[in-house]
A and B are shown apart, each in its own frame.
Chain A
Amino acid sequence: MDSLYSVGKSILSRTRENLSRYPRGMKNLFSMVTNEVNDYASTPRQLVGKSGRASLYRYVPEVEATHETVLIIPSLINRYYILDLYPGCSLIESLVENGHEVYLLEWLDPRPQDIFATLEDHILEWMNWAVDKTLEDAHTSNIHLFGQCMGGTFSAIYTALFQHKVKSLVTLTAPVDFRDDGLLSTWARESQVNMDMMQQQWGMIHHEFLQQSFKILKPTGVIRKWETLFSNSWRDEFVQKFTYMEKWINDNVSFPGKTYSKYISDLYRDNMLASGTFTLSGKQVDLSNITCPVLCFTANGDDIVPPPSAEMLVELVKSKNVKHVKLGGGHIGCVVSGKHQKILWSEFDEWLLDNHKGVVNDFVTQ
């Protein structure tokens, strides 16, 4: 009798709880639909210069920057502001608050003439320009290079070629070995789409096409996403993060055709970077040339860049000081999820401070 009473009581209390959440959830959903997201990427910054598709920004520190100079290279197909989503959910903000001098290379929307832009232009011209400009502006001889996703792959390639300009290399979910069993790699390897024809016909690989490819990776993902929103709509913080994430997910950058063609054929299909046969303007890119300290972040639940693909960097470089940090969450979750991002921020800050002090760790795997 008692147990029946307690079951009834618990059902009643849960119903009451759910009913009280309902108006709050409706209010949050309504404000999500009607309010426009404007205050994303709000960490103050100054334009240092522009070259082609690249813009270089310097983040203005609240206190005088006393520690290390970091140049951030974001992915080529997504906007950079996943690293600076909103106040309190920003890797860049945390770095600036910790007194580091932060620079960011922002890939601008491709202009019509960029259909001819090659992978060489992106790395040897624009990225090299950004590094040189950062060195000049920060009055230093080398910098910490941080790359996210494809930006990480670019950073690894750059470091292999211009070791002397890089103090340490930090990659976040950056693919290096493309022989993984992820769906993207499988598609690139097995698909017989005529890449040359695609490049000639389209010129630019439009972001709508790329976005659809990512959506097909998990067709039920869209349903799951909306279900999660409705069941958490009463939580203000959740809805706020969801709104910003939606803004970011639907704000993509198109991929210049020539760059896309080389990226897919040389890296995904032939896995040239991991095998050491990849070349840029005739220069061989050998990752074993990297001897500077390397910090590699991977995400356990990443289905876009599976952890083995990113981890390979640790094995290929010849650095004495290599650290591998396994984060929780997925490809994006590890950057924006409250629990995982705190680990990312603290590990990154610790790494920069250690390198500032000159502490050298031997091979560490967490």
Chain B
Amino acid sequence: MILSLNKKIFDFTLNTTDKIVQPILRDKTYLRMNSFQMNTLLAVQKLVEVHTSKILKGMNIPTEKALKGLYQTIYEIEFQNAALIKKVNDLERKLIELDIKLTKEFPLTPKKRAGVIKKPSIKSQSATN
């Protein structure tokens, strides 16, 4: 009984808290204040980065901007590479298709297809000797 009463008080407290907090989380003033705080934080971060970059440049250490530039190059190269691989695969596929077409239009004998070079017969060999 004590336990269930405790549970009821606990649930009531949490439900009441939810009822109070939820409208605050949707409140326009709260959201405006929140956005202002976030934008200020971002601005401060930017300012710190500018000053840090100056110090790093002076010490000949790559700055965050320089690193981002490198990452961008890696990102672009990766996509170029993927596009090239795709093109090579397409060309390979086309080559195979062409080969199939060719063999259909100009059917070769099994020996020719296997690339077997015809040996001169014993008769012709003895004639030349």
When distances are taken between beta carbons in the complex, the residues of chain A under 8 Å from B31 are: 186-187, 190-192
Contact with A along B56-93 (1 / 0, CB 8 A): 00000000000110011011001100100000000000
When distances are taken between beta carbons in the complex, the residues of chain B under 8 Å from A201 are: 42, 45-46, 49
B-side binding surface: helix, strand, loop or mixed? helix
For window 1-21 of B, CB contacts with A under 8 Å fall at 1, 3, 7, 10, 14, 17-18, 21
When distances are taken between beta carbons in the complex, the residues of chain B under 8 Å from A190 are: 28, 31
When distances are taken between beta carbons in the complex, the residues of chain B under 8 Å from A121 are: 79
A86 to chain B, nearest CB (A): 30
Would you call B35 an interface residue if the criterion is a C-beta within 8 Å of the partner chain's C-beta atoms?
yes
For window 189-245 of A, CB contacts with B under 8 Å fall at 190-194, 197-198, 200-201, 203, 216-220, 223-224, 227, 231
When distances are taken between beta carbons in the complex, the residues of chain A under 8 Å from B3 are: 18
CA separation between A183 and B26, bound complex, in Å?
7
CA separation between A186 and B30, bound complex, in Å?
12
Contact A116 B72 (CB under 8 A): yes
Would you call B111 an interface residue if the criterion is a C-beta within 8 Å of the partner chain's C-beta atoms?
no
Would you call A11 an interface residue if the criterion is a C-beta within 8 Å of the partner chain's C-beta atoms?
yes
Contact A51 B74 (CB under 8 A): no
Name the interface size band of chain B: 20 to 34
CA separation between A51 and B45, bound complex, in Å?
34
CA separation between A227 and B8, bound complex, in Å?
13
Using CB atoms, name the residue of chain B closest to A196: B42
Would you call A114 an interface residue if the criterion is a C-beta within 8 Å of the partner chain's C-beta atoms?
yes
Contact B21 A219 (CB under 8 A): yes
Would you call B39 an interface residue if the criterion is a C-beta within 8 Å of the partner chain's C-beta atoms?
yes
CA separation between A26 and B68, bound complex, in Å?
50
Contact A203 B68 (CB under 8 A): yes
Would you call B52 an interface residue if the criterion is a C-beta within 8 Å of the partner chain's C-beta atoms?
no
Contact B42 A194 (CB under 8 A): yes
Would you call B103 an interface residue if the criterion is a C-beta within 8 Å of the partner chain's C-beta atoms?
no
When distances are taken between beta carbons in the complex, the residues of chain A under 8 Å from B116 are: none
Would you call A52 an interface residue if the criterion is a C-beta within 8 Å of the partner chain's C-beta atoms?
yes
When distances are taken between beta carbons in the complex, the residues of chain A under 8 Å from B7 are: 231
Contact B79 A125 (CB under 8 A): yes
CA separation between A223 and B16, bound complex, in Å?
14
Select one of A11, A113, A194 contacting B71, CB under 8 A.
A113
Binding site for A on B (CB under 8 A): 1, 3, 7, 10, 14, 17-18, 21-22, 25-26, 28, 31-32, 34-36, 38-39, 42-43, 45-46, 49, 67-68, 71-72, 74-75, 78-79, 82
Q: What are 11 A-B contacts with C-beta separation under 8 Å?
A: A113-B72, A114-B75, A125-B82, A183-B22, A192-B32, A197-B39, A197-B42, A200-B46, A201-B46, A220-B17, A227-B10
Beyond known contacts A18-B3, A116-B75, A197-B42: 10 more, CB 8 A cutoff: A114-B75, A183-B26, A186-B26, A191-B38, A192-B35, A197-B43, A216-B25, A219-B17, A227-B10, A231-B7
